[in-house]
Structure 1
């Protein structure tokens, strides 16, 4: 079979199965990326979620024998939510980032990549393939950039002309010598809005992200959130979209294309207080299909507590006291203590005084002291 024609047929098939962009790149090593990753490790900017072996991240041939090409795919996801519920006093709401509004993108992209693999195998029985999405060794963004899906923006996202940066990325390494697409020129220009408005200064400079300060990363951690970030997390439960929503290239990119990514407003913007007492079974049943649930309920609950503190929501005080005195997780007890101090009710103060005599965990006890300190500061003021 003529390879050029097959590549055209593959592109057409990709569109039929719901792939919005497809590109083809060389499987040569990613030398520039390697230098950036080494520098990232030296500066301790990595999140810890990524593959630690830089060779595996930058040398596709280590992942598939006889690797020649990489197929990059992108699927657009929506940036607008219709009929979004508004939080009010007594019924505050949190927010999941847009990338977690619908069906878990890992599953959605893997389904499409599996179909692509079957299509290729039907025409090239000797084809070797290895697909990955997000949690694979390769950098999805580096592959997408090389394959002409979009350009690597200053906020480190891939921006496509058609869908902005609201795209999920995946790739397939193969031994088929496809014709390669050209990389796209950077179109950010002098714009630095994403750098200037990042709530934590995580975007150190154009194309350089300190993941340790990125809210998207911080909301996925399971321990105590460092104090400096607690007041800027707002009502974010998972992820952060600030550097995307301010980007001029994302204006008017609604991307209402795939029904599976259409958000359920009660999932994407859930009430905060019910999250504090949700069981594991209920959490999995309600939120298990979205990507933001991958770390379990604990980070979401911790973030919900911080959001209630952000709102100074007094209606949450009784449940926060219950968590402070009875929850078996030190992070939840301690975060509840901090929140009670921020909210500042007399009921919360008495609960903190009680807890300081019974708490056995040193970190949780330190949070109780922080909570009590808020009351002391209030008296001084």
Structure 2
């Protein structure tokens, strides 16, 4: 078998099936990454969503004995929302991060990787092939960096020369010994735009992030959001793009190559008040195809309540009051109490005092007190 010719055929085929960039690297362990991950664990900087086994995250052989290569792929996604609906004083809107626009990227990349697997299986009968996207064990960014897809920016995202950091990443481990590509040299230089733009200071330094403070992570949690971060959330319902939009390498970057990735403006920038009472079925029908729906509706609703407080939207008091009185979930009741206090309308005092008399949950009572204290200032 001519491996060099096969590699070229894979590259040509990848273009036909809608892969925007492809790279190859060895299946040797990611020793530098391993050291960084151990340090992240020691500092308590991990989100908890990652694969906990560092050996699996850094050693392809632990996932596929006999692995010789990894194929990395990247698909560019849009950064500009066409025909974006306006957020008005009485109809405030939230926002899903760009990585959650369109169809869930896990499905899109798995489709491309599956087609690539079929192609390789036909070319090399008996070849071992194992694909993964994001939720797999390996670090997508580490693989992409070593495969020459892009360099790892100070914002911890892979930045490509062609598409900036607006790319989805996936990879395939194989026992086919492809020749590795050359990594791209770091081009961030002395720039620190992303570090300065981070709303919570989660970017500790270039290339190091405290995931526990990252707004993107915080929007995906299900418990009460620590009060110190609520102002930082703004109207974000899922994810955060601040470190990407601030990056000079993303200036003017906006690609619309894939129909599946085109966002529905009303879905990715939805009205906030209707989210507070949305049912499970309607939530699934409206948001179920977005990657941002993976944690269910509770975090989205909590974030919508915080956003209404952020906007000081007095028109939302009836909806917030209903949540405070009737919602069975303490996190939503308590967050609604905080938002009512944040809005600061004098008519909110009796609403919170009434809730205080009826409420049994200690955490909710604490949030009611926070709301009342804001109103008494």
Taking structure 2 as the reference length, the TM-score comes to 0.99
Other-structure match for 1:22: 22
Give distance in 2, aligned partners of 1:108 and 1:349. Answer: 49
Q: Does 1:126 align with 2:135?
A: no
Other-structure match for 1:259: 259
**Alpha-carbon contact 2:56-2:138 (below 8 Å) kept:** yes
Other-structure match for 2:313: 313
CA RMSD of aligned residues (A): 0.7
SS of 1:232 mapped into structure 2: helix
Q: Mind listing any 5+ residue stretches in structure 2 that lack a counterpart? A: none
Give distance in 2, aligned partners of 1:59 and 1:232. Answer: 37
Other-structure match for 2:199: 199
The superposition leaves residues 49-86 of structure 1 with CA deviations (integer Å, 9 ceiling, x where unpaired) of: 00011111001100011011000000000001111111
Give distance in 2, aligned partners of 1:351 and 1:132. Answer: 50
Give distance in 1, aligned partners of 2:305 and 2:132. Answer: 35
The superposition leaves residues 85-114 of structure 1 with CA deviations (integer Å, 9 ceiling, x where unpaired) of: 110111000010000111100000001111
Q: Does 1:39 align with 2:66?
A: no
Mapping for residues 158-307 of structure 1, pairs under 5 Å: 158-307=158-307
SS of 1:51 mapped into structure 2: coil
Q: What is the aligned residue count?
A: 377
Q: Bigger CA drift: 158-167 or 367-376?
A: 367-376
SS of 1:173 mapped into structure 2: strand
Mapping for residues 32-71 of structure 1, pairs under 5 Å: 32-71=32-71
Other-structure match for 1:94: 94
Give distance in 2, aligned partners of 1:205 and 1:351. Answer: 44
The superposition leaves residues 243-286 of structure 1 with CA deviations (integer Å, 9 ceiling, x where unpaired) of: 00010000111111111111110011100001111000000000
The superposition leaves residues 168-211 of structure 1 with CA deviations (integer Å, 9 ceiling, x where unpaired) of: 00001100000100111000011001001111000000000000
Other-structure match for 2:363: 363
Give distance in 2, aligned partners of 1:26 and 1:5. Answer: 17
SS of 2:347 mapped into structure 1: helix
SS of 2:35 mapped into structure 1: helix
Give distance in 2, aligned partners of 1:21 and 1:361. Answer: 52
Give distance in 2, aligned partners of 1:376 and 1:316. Answer: 20
Give distance in 1, aligned partners of 2:228 and 2:151. Answer: 32
The Cα shift of 1:347 comes to 3.1
The Cα shift of 1:346 comes to 3.1
Q: Mind listing any 5+ residue stretches in structure 1 that lack a counterpart? A: none
**Alpha-carbon contact 2:346-2:375 (below 8 Å) kept:** no
